[in-house]
Amino acid sequence: MKKTYSFPQGGLVFEDPYAPPQGALTETAFLPVFSVIPLIQHTGNKAYPIVFIGEYVKEGMLIGRGQGQGSANIHATVPGKIVRMVSWKTVDGIANEALVIRMEGSFERLGKKEIVYQWIDLPPSELQRLIAEYGIVEMDEEGKPIADIFGDLATEKEAITVVIRCVFDNPWFAADRAICNERIMAVVEGSLITAKACGATSIIYAVSYKEKQIIDNIQKTVQILHDSESVNIPIAVVSVGNRYPQHNRRELELVLREYEKKENILLGRLFMVCPSTASAIHDAVKFHKPILDRYVAVGGSAVKTPKVLKVRIGMRLRDVFEQCGGLITDPARIVIGSPLLGRTVLDLDEPITKTSYAVLALLAKEIGGTVPRSCIDCGECRAVCPVGIDPEALYKQIICIPENPPLVDCHGCGCCEVVCPSRLPIGTTIYAVSKGAHI
């Protein structure tokens, strides 16, 4: 049996009864009458709107042009009339603007056979151009534009390895798991396109060891592409642990360096890509298609029926929850992303964007109340910190001497906070300080 690589210390088993059931089939969400298309769909600068109020747009049409580094093109995801521009601030004070489309007219692509464009003979520069043209960003975490990452890699002196993160240490990665089950050919071909575009010398699929079917499907798909002579780069499947936060860049790099050493190979710089991004890169290059849909895990204790939905970008959260049977009652917290690392949302009119891999509506019982108690020195936080720091001591130091915060290597996994019986905001506070915030 193949070795499974796991990070050496800390972490926890992350289960959630309110996440979509494992293995559930994806449902395609209905198309809402109004779509809200933000001009920023990732951490970065907004795109410049190139359509006006009252104009009719087609499905897939460019409506916001990226303005250089940190910005990405934005496309209409439904046909219709631009009826207004709306603006709001996120809970962390970031201003956003969106174009609202009232759906009208016929779809250019939905339900139609896609035209297939060959990419094998295209030079890397043309692949990069297509990926930028169709506005592809990382579809998890902060959502850096892929064009910017290619720019960073252009000066790389070392070898480059593309790593596809099929690591499901967290039930809220159900959307990527569904993509692997339903679109594995697009994921694998997307990884080959990515590798060619950035000049990578190898590809690794890091897959949770429990996902035997996905491992098997990847190997079969690679073999099919190999037989059709589309593969001329070394590809390996590496079995990794399932303990949270194995998916994190730091923990994943730790285990891949161990694999590199054991196999006596050179991976060089790791370019990590989630399965959703790989399939979006495939669609941009092979179908000349922007990101129109997003697979999203929807759940939380306030949601009647948690599901994995295929949702058009721009669908408002209230419509998304409606598609899952609605909300049981008013939630205490709405989150985009996982419960540990996600972003709190104040308004159900906020839409699904390219980076919304999960959406949760939580009741007060799930967030455990908001009044922290005193530290009881139980040591639980120390036991789970994968970085090996002492969250309790750091937290107390930050609170007692805020003007002189310690330097810490926290990556905000949230493990310490989730196990703290006193509900102290240790992880949130330490991570904020590590990013330069003043408490």
Min dist CB 268 to ligand SF4, Å, is 26
Min dist CB 261 to ligand SF4, Å, is 24
Min dist CB 350 to ligand SF4, Å, is 26
The amino acid present at 133, given as its one-letter code, is E
φ, ψ of residue 429 to 5 degrees: the values are: -70, -50
Cβ proximity to ligand SF4, 154 vs 401, nearer residue? 401
H/E segment holding residue 382: helix 380-384
Min dist CB 287 to ligand SF4, Å, is 39
Q: How many CB atoms lie within 10 A of CB 244?
A: 27
Burial 18-51 (b: 16+ CB within 10 A, else e): bbbeeeeebbebeebebbbbbbbbbebbbbebeb
Please say whether the beta carbons of 83 and 102 come within 8 A: yes
- What's the Cα-to-Cα distance from 33 to each of 37, 85, 314, 319, 349, rounded to whole Å? 13, 16, 11, 10, 13
Cβ proximity to ligand SF4, 154 vs 376, nearer residue? 376
CA separation for the pair 436, 286 (Å, rounded): 42
Cβ proximity to ligand SF4, 198 vs 413, nearer residue? 413
Cβ proximity to ligand SF4, 315 vs 416, nearer residue? 416
**Residue 263: CB partners within 8 Å, gap ≥ 6?**
none
Min dist CB 382 to ligand SF4, Å, is 7
* Interface positions with ligand SF4 (CB under 6 A): 375-381, 384-385, 387, 389, 391-392, 410-416, 419-422, 424, 426-427, 430-431
Min dist CB 415 to ligand SF4, Å, is 4
Min dist CB 171 to ligand SF4, Å, is 18
DSSP 287: S
Structure tokens at 160: 């480059």
Cβ proximity to ligand SF4, 162 vs 416, nearer residue? 416
Cβ proximity to ligand SF4, 9 vs 69, nearer residue? 9
Cβ proximity to ligand SF4, 269 vs 343, nearer residue? 343
